[in-house]
Amino acid sequence: HPIHSVGRVNEISRYVEDALLNELNSLPGIQCSIPSNASGELQRSGYPDLRLLHEASGRVFYLDPKVYKEGSEASSFRTFYFEPQRETNKILDDASHLIVGVAHGGKVDAQWQLNSWKLIDLYDFDVRLKAEFQASNRELYQGSLLLSEGQ
């Protein structure tokens, strides 16, 4: 499988995403796709990676696979990130949000070891919000804000 030719763990997520997409689409009554963004374009990067539709109920689920090192579940390293952007936002439905955590054990004999998985429901997930103020020089040094200047 091509996943085993990948050198870095960050690069195997796309293969896991593609495998989930294919597997879920093989189930009757389920449509799994790459979500379109607010501009109507299919977008692979960013949260969420997959949009799942249960055809009978019309219910939508957003599914995001995350590959992590086995045993690192207690790590405080940031692994989930979402920054809403007007044009590239992919969350367009009232939907359930799920994470599929796939634990890897590294490479053994040049083969990635994907050892287990966990399905996480984000409904009761408490997020930390990082508020950030930002400005360009053009915005910061505009005349209406200038109090004084010198040489």
Among the listed residues 114, 110, 112, 121, the one whose alpha carbon sits nearest the alpha carbon of residue 70: 114
Residue ranges of the chain with per-residue pLDDT less than 70:
none
Looking at residue 74, its pLDDT comes to 87
Residue 8 in domain: yes
Residue 41 in domain: yes
- Domain, as residue range, for 104: 2-145
Residue 107 in domain: yes
Residue 141 in domain: yes
Residue 151 in domain: no
What's the pTM?
0.81
Residue 134 in domain: yes
Looking at residue 65, its pLDDT comes to 95
70-109 per-position pLDDT tens digit: 999 888 888 887 887 888 899 999 999 999 999 999 999 9
Residue 88 in domain: yes
DSSP string of 68-93? EETT-TT--S--------TTT----S
Give the count of domains, the chain: 1
